[in-house]
Amino acid sequence: MGKTKDVFMIGVGMTRFGWQKEVLLSDLGSAACRQALNDAGITIKEVEALFCAHSFSGRVAGQRVLRYLGTTGIPVVNVENACAGGSTALHLARAAVAAGQYRTVLVLGMEQMSRGLIPPNPDNYEAAQGLTLPAKYALRARRHMALYGLTEKQLALVAVKNLSNGSLNPYAKNQTPMSLEQVLQSRMIAEPLTLYQCTGNADGAAAVVISDRPRGRSIRIRASVLGSGRYTSVKDQGMTADDELARRISKLAYEEAGLGPEDVDLAEVHDAFTIGEILAYENLGFCKVGEGGKFVEDGLSSLNGKLPVNPSGGLIARGHPLGATGVAQACEMYWQLTGQAGSRQVPGAKVGLTHTAGGATPNIGSGACVVSIFSV
């Protein structure tokens, strides 16, 4: 890509994630957007396009939200990329602003999962045979245990940390901290992953305003890279397709930002299951391959550690309304890098990274991975 403009995040908004079956999804979406617009100090009239991520919200979901904000006639693009939908919308919005197509755009991620179970993709042969997402992550955990000696305690410590962080986050679905014992003794979902090591479905919406002009409290989007999985499982007995993907995409993101893992002050990563966060440490270059378990056990990813990961509580505490998650990660980056994260603030944070993985697709690992890098 040639010379492009700098791109800023100038305001954010979010609903608390949780069960909100009684309202319409458009109510949640418009609430998040209104907050983001207010936070940026602009009105909907200044917004030139809307990028809206969701997976289960019917047709023209973003346009339905605009009814409550002002039907200004702007282009609206609805994006689906499973768990990485919100990050994909952010990626598209950033690229469009960087290219000069728009100056100020709104990114919205939303999902209302209380209204029905996730329907299976009709051609997901792996899931039909039992290789659902929890099972797949459990196999990745087992593999890590076998290869590198990851322990059940180390896995559970990810949940303990994230639930502790989530208890400081008013937007998190689960704000109740849990002890190591409570996490380990919670119901087994897919061995070795117990209940509190898995994210939960949720309703919720998150929105950010992106612009080529900084305004008030702004942070810079230094990179945002999207890619999909490359390998087939036939060749991949080690379940490493997602790892290859995260390594490849984060490498491109670091290059685009002109920064490295050593520059990152905090990260929001895709802890749909605790093993996901352990692998993220390694794939994003925060530690060496095989040392992810030690990384959390040594407290390096704790709120007061060397590199706090998921200060928001991550997917495990915040809950995971698919399309909303990536945008919620960006909201957390904004609050952290502008010093507004309250009791979960990472002191002096200047560079942050978000990582989202989505769409477990038969044979190719994740269908989407987005790594974005932000700085003050």
Q: Which two tokens stand for residue 342?
A: 């309250």
Residue 207's beta-bridge partner residues? 13, 108
Q: Tell me if 122 contacts a copy of itself by CB under 8 A.
A: yes
Of these residues, 54, 91, 144, 320, which one is catalytic?
Answer: 320
In the complex, the smallest distance separating the C-beta of residue 2 from a copy of itself, rounded to whole angstroms, is 5
In the complex, the smallest distance separating the C-beta of residue 84 from a copy of itself, rounded to whole angstroms, is 9
Angle (deg, nearest 10), helices 241-257 and 274-283: 50
DSSP 8-class letter at 18: B
Identify whether the C-beta of residue 245 lies closer than 8 Å to the C-beta of residue 365. Answer: yes
Q: Which two tokens stand for residue 144?
A: 């890590």
| 115, amino acid identity | R
Using a 10 angstrom Cβ sphere, with 0-12 exposed, 13-18 middle and 19 or more buried, the burial of residue 149 is exposed
331 is catalytic: no
Q: Tell me if 272 contacts a copy of itself by CB under 8 A.
A: no
Q: Which lies closer to a copy of itself via its Cβ, residue 81 or residue 165?
A: 81
Q: Tell me if 130 contacts a copy of itself by CB under 8 A.
A: no
State which of positions 72-101 bind a copy of itself (CB under 8 A).
Answer: 72-82, 88, 91-92, 95-96, 98-101
Tokens 């929890």: give the residue: 134
Q: Which lies closer to a copy of itself via its Cβ, residue 72 or residue 176?
A: 72
Q: Which lies closer to a copy of itself via its Cβ, residue 105 or residue 317?
A: 105
Q: Which two tokens stand for residue 11?
A: 């305001």
**Residue 111, H or E segment:** strand 104-112
Of these residues, 83, 198, 331, 369, which one is catalytic?
Answer: 83
State which of positions 212-251 bind a copy of itself (CB under 8 A).
Answer: 226-232, 245, 248
State which of positions 25-64 bind a copy of itself (CB under 8 A).
Answer: 25-26, 55, 58-64
Q: Pick from 54, 58, 71, 346: which is nearest to 205 by CA?
A: 54
Identify whether the C-beta of residue 8 lies closer than 8 Å to the C-beta of residue 210. Answer: yes
320 is catalytic: yes
Q: Which residues are catalytic?
A: 83, 320
Residues near a copy of itself (CB under 8 A) are: 1-2, 4, 24-26, 55, 58-64, 66-67, 71-82, 88, 91-92, 95-96, 98-101, 115, 119-123, 226-232, 245, 248, 358-359, 361-364, 367-368
